[in-house]
Amino acid sequence: MLKKLIVIVVTLLATPFVLAIFTAKNYDVEREVIINQPKDQVFSYIKLLKNQNNYSKWATMDPTMEKAYRGVDGQVGFVSAWDSTNEEVGKGEQEIIAIEEGQRIDFELRFIKPFESTEPAYMLTEAISETQTKVKWGFSGHMDYPMNLMLLVMNFEEMIGNDLQTGLNNLKALQEK
């Protein structure tokens, strides 16, 4: 009887770790919005990381967070850093790693607290017409084994996607004023 109980307990404990072997470790999130402004105007605004303070949901979650900047905003190598006591915001920095002028800006997000990770993000602009621009905001994430099990129980695509969409909706409101 004791042997059977031990086998059952070991099986129950091992099952999540075995399941994690077969669970995805990466996820991608992308949201978009159409802004009634010319593409050049929209791109010129979003390529400046400091402007994210005006529309990003994460930037508005803690108005008292410490912010620091290095480099020239809107150029490759510019870094925007933050430090917040709010665990949902945490501590980290974002660096512009590539710009395709008028089209795309790529970022590297380096999270320090409450967890450490480095993830890519981007923003794209596409002219729909002379006065309309589609903006896409994307993020990719990675969770190492066995933490990737969280991808089965938490919908990161929806959680992060909702925050991206809120930011895009804020951007649209600012640009269409």
- Does residue 26 carry a pLDDT above 90? no
**What span, in angstroms and rounded, lies between the C-alpha atoms of 135 and 23?**
31
Tell me the CATH number at 74: 3.30.530.20
Most confident region among 13-27, 66-80, 110-124 by mean pLDDT = 66-80
Per-residue confidence (pLDDT) for residue 125, from 0 to 100 = 98
**What does the chain come to in residues?**
177
- Placement of tokens 């399941």 in the chain: 19
Q: 78 near 95, Cβ under 8 Å?
A: yes
Instruction: Please give the model's pTM, rounded to 2 decimal places.
Output: 0.80
- Does residue 7 carry a pLDDT above 90? no
For the stretch 70-106, pLDDT in tens is 999 999 999 999 999 988 889 999 999 999 999 999 9
Per the structure, the count of domains in the chain is 1
Q: Where are the beta strands (DSSP E) in the chain?
A: 26-35, 66-70, 79-83, 91-100, 104-113, 117-129, 132-142
Mean pLDDT computed over every residue of the chain = 89
For the stretch 142-177, pLDDT in tens is 676 677 666 666 666 777 889 999 999 999 999 998
The predicted model gives 25-40 an average pLDDT of 91
- Does residue 121 carry a pLDDT above 90? yes
Range(s) of the domain holding residue 63? 2-175
> What's the pLDDT band for 135 if we cut at 50, 70, 90?
very high
User: Residue 143: which residues within 8 A CB-CB, separation 6 or more?
Assistant: 25, 26, 27, 150, 151
- Does residue 110 carry a pLDDT above 90? yes
The predicted model gives 24-44 an average pLDDT of 91
The predicted model gives 29-33 an average pLDDT of 94
Q: Point out the least confidently predicted range of 18-22, 129-133, 168-172.
A: 18-22
Q: Point out the least confidently predicted range of 49-58, 123-132, 146-155.
A: 146-155
